[in-house]
A and B are shown apart, each in its own frame.
Chain A
Amino acid sequence: MKNNIKDVLIYNVGAVIVGLFISACMLFFLKVNPAEVFAEAFKKIVSDGYTTGEILVKATPLIFTALAFSFTYKANLFNIGAQGQFYAGSIVAVTLSLLLGGVVPTVPLIIILLIAVFIAGGAVGALIGLAKAKCNANEFLVSMMSTYVVAAIMDYLLRTVLRETKGEYLQTDPISKSAYLVNIIPGTRVHLGFIIAVVAAIGVWVLLYKTPLGFRIRAVGCNSNAAELSGIRSSKIYVIAFLISGGLAGIAGLTEVNGVQHMLLQNFNESIGSFGIGIAILANGNPIGVIFAALLFGFMNVMGTTMGRLPGLNIPSSIIDYIEGIVMICVIIAYFLRRYVNTRKDKKLLMKESEK
C-alpha cells in the first residue's frame, strides 16, 4: 500500500512536469521565450505575498469540487455536476447573506450558511442519486445536465429577484461585511474557507476510510453485487454518496460568495467543476491528496493569470485551460504507464521464479 502511494506520487509528479513542459513549448507559437516568461511569472508570484496568497484562494473551491468528484468516484459513480451543485450553494449563500447579514452575528451566521449550502448542494446531488437508485437513470448524464439547469435558474434569479438595486449588471448587491469569511493571512485574500476546505478533506478521508458508512460506500464501489449480497443496499448508498458529494460542492459556493466575491454574478467561476475532476484524478481520489493537487492547480491558475498580465506579451489567460488539459492527459497516460511497467515487472519476476 505504502509502496503504491509512493509509486503514484512519482509517476504523477513526472506527468505534471512533462505536461508543464509541453504547454510551455506552446508559448513558442506566441513568439515568446517560455523559460523567460515562466521565470518572470514565477518571480512575481513568489516575491508578491498577495499573489502567493492567491494560490490558496484559487485552491479553496477546487478542493471542494474535487472532493465532490472523489466521493462518488469511490462508490464507482460519476458526479460530473459539481458545477451545478456549486451554483446551488452560491445561490443559497448569497440569498441568506443578503437577508441575514447584519441581523445575525457573524459566527452563528456562518454556521447557518455552512449548513444551508451543504443542504442546497446536497439536495441537487441527492436528486441525481435518487434518479440513479429509483429509475436506474444514467447518473453521468443526469448530473451533467443538472449543471445547465441550475445555471439557468441562477441566471433567472440574477435577472429578477436577486438583481442588484441599481439594476445595471446581472449581479447581486454586495453582501454585508458581517457575512464575510474572515481573512486569515493579512495582506492577501486568503480566508477562513481554506481552513474549512482542509478540514473537509480530512473529514472526508475519515468518513471514507474509518467509518462503517465509508466502508459501505467503498464496498459498493468495488463490487456492487457482492456488497448487495452482504446486506448493503446499494441504492441507499447511491443517494447518500450523491448527497454528501453535492453538499461538498455546495460549500464551495459559500467560500466563493462570502470569502472572495462578496456577491453573486453571472458565469461565476465557470470551470471549477471540471477542474475538480482533473484534481480528483491527479490525486487518485485520495481526499488528502486532493488538497495538494488543488494547490497545484491553484498555482497553475495564478501562473496563467500572471502570465496573462505580463506587459507586451499578449498571452491569453485562457492558457490556463490549455495547460491544465495537457497536464490532465499526461496524468492519465501516467496511470497507464505505471500499470504497464508494474505488470512487466511482475511478469519478469514470475518468469524468474518458474526458471528456478
Chain B
Amino acid sequence: MLNILSRAVMMCTPLMLGAMAEVYAERTGMMITSIEGIFLMGAFGGFVGTYFTGSIVLGMLIAILCGLVTAALYGGITVYMRQQQIVTGTAINILAAGFCAFFYRVLFGIPTTPLKIATLPKIEIPLLSKIPVIGEVLFDQNILTYFVYLIIPVSYFVLFRTSLGLTLRSTGENPEAVDVAGLNVNRIRFLTVLVAGAFGGLAGSFYTLGYLGMFTSGIIGGRGWIAFAICFLGNWNPKGVVIGTLVFGLADAVSIYIQAVSGGTIFPNELIIALPYILTIILTISRRSFNVPAKLGVPYFKED
C-alpha cells in the first residue's frame, strides 16, 4: 500500500506542475490549450537531450527549452495575432505529435529495441524520510517532485501576496485597467505563456526522465488535458490544484491497488484507464461556484 501511495505522489508531480503552469496563464486570461503538445515536446526534448548529452540536467534544460519554443509559437499566434485559443492549441498539438514522431525517426531511425536512458534517481531527504508512512511516501522521491513541493507555496505567495501577482490576476479580470495603469497587456500575457511553457516542458520531461526512461509518441496520452482540467477544477488557485491533483493521484492509486488485489476481476482495466476522465466530467458538471477569470480566452484589443 505504501508503495502505491508513493507511486501516486510521483504520478502527481507532472500533473501538478502542468496545472500550475495553466493557473498562471489562465489568471492572465490565456488558456494554454496546447498543453498536450507542450508536455509531449518536453518529454521528447528531455529524452533526446539526455540521450545525446548523457546528462539528465541538460536533458531537463532542453525539455524546458522545447516547452518554451512551443509556448512562444502558441503565444505569438494567440496573443499578438489574436487567433482562437482552442483552434490554435489543437493545431499545435497535432504539429507537436508529428514533430516528435518525425524527428525521433530522423535521429534514431527504426531502433530494434526501444532506446533507454537512465531515469532521475530518488533522493531520500535525511531525517524527513525517516518519519513513518509520510516519510516514505513524500520524502523518497526524485528532484522534480521536490521542486513541485516548493513551487506550490511559492506560486500561492506570488499570485496572492505580491504586486506581480495582482498584475497577473488583473490582466485576466480587467485588462483595460492594467492597460490604463501603463502596463502592456499583451506583453504580460505573452511572458506568462512563456513561463507556463517552461513549466509545461519540465512537467512533460518527467514522463521520460522521471519514470519511463524511454520515449513513445503516445507517452502523454491525454495527461496534458488532465492538467488542464485540474486547473479548472482547482478554481484557478494553487490550493485547489493541490487538492485536485491529489484526488486524481489517489483515484489512480486506489484503482491500481484494487487491480493488484483482485487481478482485474472487480473492475475491468478500461474502467481504470477511463477513471480520471470520468472524474473530470463529473466534477466539471457538479461544481457550480467557478471563479473563472473574466476575460479567459478573450484576446485584448487596444483601442487606438
Contact = CB atoms under 8 A, between A and B. Distances in A.
Q: Are both chains from one complex?
A: yes
Interface of A: 26, 29-30, 78, 80, 131, 135-138, 140-142, 144-146, 148-149, 151-153, 155-156, 159-160, 271, 274-275, 277-278, 281, 314, 316, 318-326, 328-329, 332-333, 335-336
Contacts, number: 138
B274 A142 contact: no
A136 B290 CA distance: 10
A322 B94 CA distance: 7
Contacts of A333: 77, 81, 83
Given A153-B270, A336-B77, A278 B102 contact: no
Given A148-B222, A316-B101, A316-B102, A332 B284 contact: no
Contact of A80 (B90, B106, B280): B90
A314 B109 contact: yes
Say which size band chain B's interface belongs to: 35 or more
A306 B256 CA distance: 43
Interface stretch (B115-123, B146-154, B225-233, B245-253): B225-233
B217 A318 contact: yes
Given A29-B106, A78-B86, 17 more contacts: A30-B106, A137-B285, A145-B277, A146-B281, A149-B277, A152-B277, A153-B274, A160-B268, A316-B101, A318-B217, A319-B102, A322-B101, A324-B98, A325-B91, A328-B90, A332-B84, A333-B77
Interface string B82-118: 1110111011111111110111011001100000000
Interface in B266-281: 268, 270-271, 273-274, 277-278, 280-281
Nearest to A150: B274
A128 B271 CA distance: 20
9 smallest beta-carbon distances between A and B, as pairs? A325-B95, A321-B98, A322-B98, A152-B274, A318-B101, A328-B91, A336-B81, A156-B270, A148-B277
Nearest to A323: B98
Most chain A CB within 10 A, of B81, B97, B102, is at: B102
Contacts of B232: 138, 141
Given A138-B232, A145-B281, A152-B274, A80 B86 contact: yes
